[in-house]
A and B are shown apart, each in its own frame.
Chain A
Amino acid sequence: MKQLSFSKPLLRGVLFPGVALAVLGLAPVAWGGLQSQTVFCQKNADGSGLCYGNFVGFREDATSTSSASFREDLMTGTRSFDSWSTPPGGTSPVVYTCIPNAAVSALWEQALSNRGFFRVSWDASGTCDYLRLVNSSQNTNF
Chain B
Amino acid sequence: MTTQVLRGWLPSLTTAVGCAVGCWLAVSQAQQSQAQRMEQLTDEVGSLRRALESSSHATGASPVGTATILAPRESRLSVEDQEAMALRVATLLKESGGPVAGSSEPEAPVPTAPEPSSEQREAVARAGMMVDRVVSSGRMTAEDVLEIRRELVHLRGRPEADALRKQLVVAINQDRLVPAPGFDGLP
Contacts and interface: CB of A to CB of B under 8 A. Distances in A.
Nearest to B1: A2
Interface residues of B, number: 61
Contacts, number: 164
A126 B176 CA distance: 13
Nearest to B110: A102
Given A2-B1, A29-B25, A69-B185, A76 B15 contact: no
A75 B153 contact: yes
Contacts of B83: 40, 50, 52, 119
A10 interface: yes
Interface in B128-187: 149, 152-153, 155-157, 161-162, 165-166, 169-170, 172-175, 178-179, 181, 183, 185-187
Given A4-B6, A80-B186, A126-B166, A138 B37 contact: yes
B14 interface: yes
Could you tell me the dominant secondary structure of chain B's interface residues?
helix
A76 B173 contact: no
A12 to B, nearest CB: 11
Given A121-B87, A125-B166, A25 B161 contact: no
Contacts of B187: 76, 78
Contact of B169 (A38, A97, A107, A130): A97
User: Which of B19, B44, B186 counts the most chain A CB atoms within 10 A?
Assistant: B186
A121 B90 contact: yes
B185 A98 contact: no
A84 interface: yes
A2 B4 CA distance: 11
Interface in B1-55: 1-3, 6-7, 10-11, 14-15, 17-19, 21-26, 29, 33, 36-37, 40, 44
Given A5-B3, A13-B11, A126-B173, A34 B185 contact: no
Interface in A16-52: 17-26, 28-29, 34, 36, 38, 40, 43, 45-50, 52
A84 B183 contact: yes
A112 interface: no
